[in-house]
Structure 1
Amino acid sequence: MSPPVFATKISMAGHQELWVETFGEPQICIAVLDGWVDQSHPSLVSAKLTPLEPLTPNISAQGSAAQHGTHVTSIIFGQHHGSVQGIAPQCRGLLIPIFTDGKGDAIAPCSQLDLARAILLAANHGAHIINISGGQLTPSGEADPLLTNAVRHCTNQNILIVAAAGNDGCNCLHIPGALPSVLAVGAMNTEGLPLDFSNWGEQYRTQGILALGENIPGAAPGGGITTSSGTSYATAVVSGVAALLLSLQVKRGQAPNPQAVRDAILRSAIACDDQPAPDCRRLLAGRLNVKGAMSLILQPGETMNENIELATVQSAPIGETNLPPPPQRQNPAVQAAAYSAPTSEVASQVVQPLLSSPQLKEQVNSGGIQPAACSCGGGNGTPVQLVYALGQLGFDFGTETRRDSIQQHMGAGANPQDHRQLLAYLDRNLWDTGAIIWTLNLDATPIYAIQPQGAYAEQAYERLRQFLTEQLTEGVERISIPGVVVGKVMLMSGQVVPVILPTLRCMYSWTTAALIEAVCGTPPAESASEQDRGVYGQRSQSVINFLERVYYELRNLGMTPQERAINYAATNAFNVERIFESAIQEEMDLDTIEVERSPLCRSGSECWDVKLTFFNPRRVFEQARKVYRFTVDVSDVCPVSVGRVRSWFVR
């Protein structure tokens, strides 16, 4: 008679009570941004998981990134009839690969741009929680504006991001864990003491939580089981608990509120005063208190703040989990953060020592989000993704072979990287326009490739050549590219970017000066009165202020409805002109720019209100602020203004 197959589960105080209430609701969605996941693993084969198209190249099903991604995913979604019992097995999951295999056993880092794109993809597909078991060491705690805006978008949409604090064993911060509204996670042992490699920092004292991160069992690609330690796995534990708390809200007939769950986890945390530790700074805001967080969700205002009673990983024969059956339901989202990995008898994992100081310095300068794993150095039916993005036009050749081929056709001594030489060549050889990878750039970073197709591809390529010419000869500062994402392409640098199939009728180029003249009219002549020139200067400066804030403070990838609405507002600034004309007459300056879902919209459309708030700097305490609002319908690839500008005063 063969011995029974044993299942592993994470057990800590409060889990049993939470599992009595729920094993998770399919309505609750957790996005896992990590490596490739082996969905054929017995613990995951029946999980409700949806893989999304990866942007990263060279996705491997066997390497370190897949080991990390499969392990992290199983901690959350492992089915209780399988060999790894996850925390929230009945919740729904989105799998978005962002990590790939690096050299040796390392995991290649993910850029902040690609992480921002993955976060927005998860948000657009309905994620309530986004698990990021990784990060990038940062001396300042600041991120690329695109990543900052993606995280801010999640906050505004009430989406919780749970991210690893990092495994460098220092008073240091990781991005995105240190960004406001993110719930950062450090790792502790079964006695509630922080593990030596778990990071701490001032920012984490208010938005960080310690969770069990030592010898955490998980699935390994190919069907095995492994155990590893690290903030990666503690992060997955917290994401699973947060998903169960959201499920508890749903079960009680409430709308799921991820930010309320985040608040409950932090408020109920067991701090140094409740259970002392040698160095209280390393406890972050405190230790995960499942019972306390659960009591706040069930009875807001009351907290069960008990000392931690953590158990080690338990084993039980599959089918004998000693857990109550799931309750009957009333109604049918970076370097990976795993530490050293003690191997189980079932599967092994390569272990490397902690990073030394020179390696930490290299990581800080690497510019990539990496899995928080010291073991690595520290779909069908998918909706169409609309894009309305702003930037500057660039070009790429994809491969050295393509570049050299075009250079040979240009003639001896030609330089295909020179914009003017390339444009002159393409004017004589129109058929080669499609051999170039046209890119939309923010600063010097490509964010999309542009690939016209179909009957009007020739006219679209002509428009692209015109845009590039205008950037060289007329100082064009921005172009707008509307369209749909149809795939991805690798550039010569190795960066992979999404490909936009553009819509010709909404492709525009402009300079700020030309747009201001179109909006505000021709500048007054020198002979005009000083008052007329002053009024015009004030109007134009106000429009410049609005455009500059959209271009830089609010710059984005044009993926979400809100981003498409604000980008269209910058392109079609005539609504803005009427707003500024009125505001200037009342001596008001622009304060905030916001985008909110419109309460009024046509049937079958998706409408968002761009809301501009003004104040009088000379009468801040005497005069109410004034809000101007206009509606943009973003349901089509080309947005359109709807209705008139509305305004009112607010206190």
Structure 2
Amino acid sequence: MLKNNRLTPKPAIDNLDDLWERTLGDPVVKIAILDGPTNLNHACLTDSNSRYISQRPSSSIQSSHGTFITSLIAAKHSSEVKGIAPACSFLLHDIYQEKPDGSLYSCSQSDIAAGIHNALENGANIINISGGEPIGSDVEMMPRLVNALQMCEQQGVLVVAATGNEGDARLHVPARFPTVLAVGSIDLQGLPSGFSNWTAADRLHGITTIGENIHGAINQAEQLVGKMSGTSFSTALVSGVAALLASCQQQPRDMLQIRDWILSCATPCLQNEGINCNRILAGRLNIKSILTQFQDMLLPVAKDISSKQVHNVTPSNSIQKVTIMNQENSSAPQSTHVTASAADANTEAATDAVSASAIDSTAVDNASTTVSASAASTSQVEPSESAQCACPTAVAPSSVSPSASSFNPSNNQGNTPTFENCQLVSAIGQPAYNFGTEANQDIFKAAISAWHDNLPAELKSLFPNTAFSELTMSAFLLWKVNGSLVNGFYSSQLVWILSMNATPVYSITPGLVPFNDAIYLSMAEFLGENVGLDISDYTQLTNNISMFSSLAGTKSGCENQKKQERLISCLQSKFDNFQDNKNDVMRMSLPGYISGQTKLLNGNAIQSVTPVAYGINNWTIDALVSTLPPEYSGSPEYREQLISLLNRLYINTINRGQTPDDRALNYAIYNIIAVAQIVRDAAKTDMQFTTYKVTPSKIARQHSEMRDVQLTFFNPANTTQASTTYALTVDVSAITPIIVGSIEQWQAPISVASL
């Protein structure tokens, strides 16, 4: 039973209720879920018909991806998630393993193949793979994986796999295999999600369905459900629909026939929609067409399914939600404070994130990469019941704004962006690094080892002798002799990364812009601050050490030695304190434009961002607290409240920063933290972040793109207290967004503020 009369949202799939009226699934139909660790003790899954067929050893489950995917298909309708096919049976096989900090190691094509074989041995009818490897079209799949997929076809087992989330004209492996039902993502209007991969060659064996802001189960102490976006979740929804169709299919069951139904009845993209139809693949999932065209091959509607059980699906504001950036991108999942180089496999969980795409201009017609004002929504593409599946009715236009602004540096010989080819980015994340190649990794190993050998004994114990330690790397890059950086040039040899939730999202490539030395220095400093290295004390220490070597044995030398010991002690103390308070928030802002791709050491590729030097900034808890009066700066309670507030703010707003809305939101967040008093004032009054809203601004000025951003805070200890909303207008037309006008604020009852 639902508690407190709360109504659980259902997946936003048209005509899903019609399918649920026929069946909620059949235990005979087995769905194998190849994913990360799944918490079967989660409240949404305790009653599900799920069992492990291969489980990675783990004392506890901290990641959410596997749990979220499983809940989308398996969760009972009496829980806070409505699974698509809760009455089916579920076979869980872990292809991803957690690191001690809760992030995920990559898996290989061999791991996926092993999972497929295990699923076949356990009688799976459907195999859901919300993951894959983004490889080039000229790269062959591993023979073992090819053989496993061929075996599925021979045994009549349906494989459903995610296309990937780089927004590129390529499908992940195994989604690109011709017998696999590949699944991409669309939004509620039926427009292709910016992050969803596609190819013209493979579109005939792929479909799209909703993949943005999907409601599912998460592993968090305070909240059981949340929202994620990505092709992983579109894939799970399609697997669930396929299972329902199999459950009401007349005997004998034929999963490959169901694959053909789904593809042939998909609502195709029409040229007058004004979008690149290759991104819709064969079409949009159309349950109504399937039920109409193949009703003679389906069992009649079951009379014993309560309509009350199927309906009552209106979302409730009383259900707490959190929007989370999934722990995946076009590289292997990474640990919280360790760089991408620690992962040596080359297949990742499907890249899931709310994002806009930098569309490959070589693979896509320029005229179709931007959504025009005449783009149509899915609901307006629905065919009539008498029509054939592939012949939808005319499409009515709808007003859709262009997905993003862009900037072409080759055409920008002056100071004005031309906004033509390159995707603009304004993102928030944490710094990390990667070596790119094994040869480069060996160079750093040798250089750091030689530097470490000459350190004072006290520093040797503080800085591990390894190139994989972010603390050691930052100390190495920032080492000064007589006031000069002696290792600073190494910074340009690293692949600098902006990570979100320990996942590499962008590489930072300053080489194309002026003042890149300052950017490299900033990245080294940000890296150090992210792991607790006090840059000011460390700078003094390195200068003092070089002076001590020239003054040894003198009175000044003795004084320098005492100062050196004091600075080392201070560094150690601050680092230890950082380790004891790992919830301390450090973030950096990254404005720039997409300038290509960067290959990481594990073989994966992520989008490259060329930044602008004046827009890169970072902030830490210490920096925020230091600006406050003594009664707050010395208060542990205030510090804890500030950390809690900021963490909630980041988790609920995390995004890739490519759409105008996301860029405006990210700039507003950076501004209220680093410039305005909003967050500090909210922390003083025990307020917490609750909601945000981004809308096109009513202010319109020539050559600008304006967004109004509202951020609302409330007091969880006193729900009768009015919430506080802060509003600001952001112009996102330039590479670096800018606030227009002043920040406004007002109070309103919580019930009003949440509307």
| TM-score calculated relative to the size of structure 1 | 0.47
- Structure that is richer in strand per residue: 1
Higher relative contact order structure (alpha carbons within 8 Å, sequence separation ≥ 6)? 1
| TM-score calculated relative to the size of structure 2 | 0.41
